[in-house]
Amino acid sequence: MLGFKKKTLEADKLTVQVHVVGSAEVFRLAEKIWTENQRTLRTDASTGKEFLHFAYASPKCVVWLQRDPGRQQIFELVVRWEKDIIHEVYVLLNTPHPDGDVTRAKQLLNSVLSTPSIILSNGNK
């Protein structure tokens, strides 16, 4: 009936890895992405967050860089890997001494800066 199937335990599983990263260098990379893509900045009506949205074809993933208006010292980087159904979430803080998974956060941000992406015109997720 309408294509509904019996619900399985696996249907509700979502792998989310959350990291807090404090680093002035990582924060500057996020600011650079934010500044260079200002023209595509969107606001989520339900949360009020400002965000940038990028989609990549290979490997297939979607990236959001977002922040709350008025909170200039925090960015959130969300990466959803299509193949593995994994979400990586990084809270990026502007701190003088590196703390957290700085290497991985730098790798992801540098990739956003250097890899051509598809930026959806309507900002859909």
Beta strands at 15-22 and 86-93: parallel, antiparallel or unpaired = parallel
Beta strands at 60-67 and 50-57: parallel, antiparallel or unpaired = antiparallel
Task: Return the amino acid letter for 71.
Answer: R
| pTM of the model as a whole | 0.81
| 8 A C-beta contact, residue 76 and residue 92 | yes
pLDDT by residue for the chain (125 residues), tens only, comes to 444 556 565 556 668 889 999 999 999 999 999 999 999 999 999 999 999 999 998 888 999 999 998 888 999 999 999 887 789 999 999 998 989 889 999 999 999 999 888 755 454 44
